[in-house]
Amino acid sequence: MKKYTKLAAFVAIAMAASTAYADDAILNANNQVSLSGGASNLNYKEISRAEVPTTMNSETGTQAAIGISTSRQGSIFGIKDVYTSVSSSFAFGNTAYDGHLLDATFTPQKATSKNFTTDVQLRLGKAFRFGVRSQFQVVPFVQYGYHYWNRDAASLETEEYSHNAFGGGVLIQGAPTDKLVLSLDVAVSGMVGAQMKEVGFPAAQLESRPITQVGVGVDYAVTKHLHVNVNYKYSNYRYGISNSVTDATGRWSIYEPDSRTTQQLVMFGVGYSF
């Protein structure tokens, strides 16, 4: 009789642990530190303001990327299910330049440009959980982002683009199994302080435009603490034409035309759930 009692107790404990694991699938995924690597694809075009707009030059290509991120979901100041996340990614490599020589001749040219890109993003939101085992949740959030792009255009000159972004969006997550969590997020932000710097010239202030982002993710718990994940992020934004800036000699003036940028990031990561 004692053996049966012990067996029943063991089964009950195992079932309780399994249920808790299932209930916490999303929480486990959201309380995590992750390192990742993958690829970043850039599609950048500078566009004229002619009656029939034309592409003045472009940068296209895929670079290597690495990233680090951390997120937390829990109570803060007595408020339950507060969601916070911090992520950063770094892309580096070459793109194909298709445009013109950046001199007085303006001769058509195709060349290779070196690039380095940094993106940082912070999010703060409140999760609303649904389902018998809380296997589905929606997280409205506000976010801050910073973008930096070092562009060695056709290996002739270095331009540095940067902007801040403030906005918000929604994160939707579902856990179809004990270990698998699927995520979809959509966000819209407004630019602040968009500019381009070139050696020898003051910073050119770019007109700010909205930024749209869409992300999808898959997180799988190999164990309660060891996770693997795959994430895809799409970003689209524009810079408006800048003011004209003049170098110290007063002989040369430059400006930045309208431009459109699309970034796609695919990352494969390993994480520790705490």
Q: Domain residues of the chain, as ranges? A: 2-273
Query: Could you tell me which of 235, 181, 143 has the C-alpha nearest to residue 34?
Result: 181
Q: How far apart are CA 231 and CA 227, in angstroms?
A: 13
Beta bridge partners of 70: 33, 86
Q: CB neighbours (10 Å) of residue 239?
A: 24
Mean pLDDT by 10 residues, the chain (274 residues): 44 38 83 99 94 87 99 97 98 93 73 96 98 90 99 82 99 97 99 96 96 99 98 98 93 94 99 98
- Write the CA distances from 10 to 3, 14, 18, 19, 96, integer angstroms: 10, 6, 12, 14, 63
Nearest partner of 161 among 214, 222, 207, 212, judged by Cα:
207
Q: For residue 30, give the DSSP letter.
A: H
pLDDT digits (tens, 9 = 90+) for 107-118: 788 999 999 999
How many beta carbons lie within 10 A of that of residue 101, not counting itself?
Answer: 13
Give 203-250 pLDDT, tens digit per residue. Answer: 999 999 999 999 999 999 999 999 999 999 999 999 999 999 999 899
- Per-residue pLDDT, 153: 75
CATH superfamily membership of 2-273: OMPT-like (2.40.128.90)
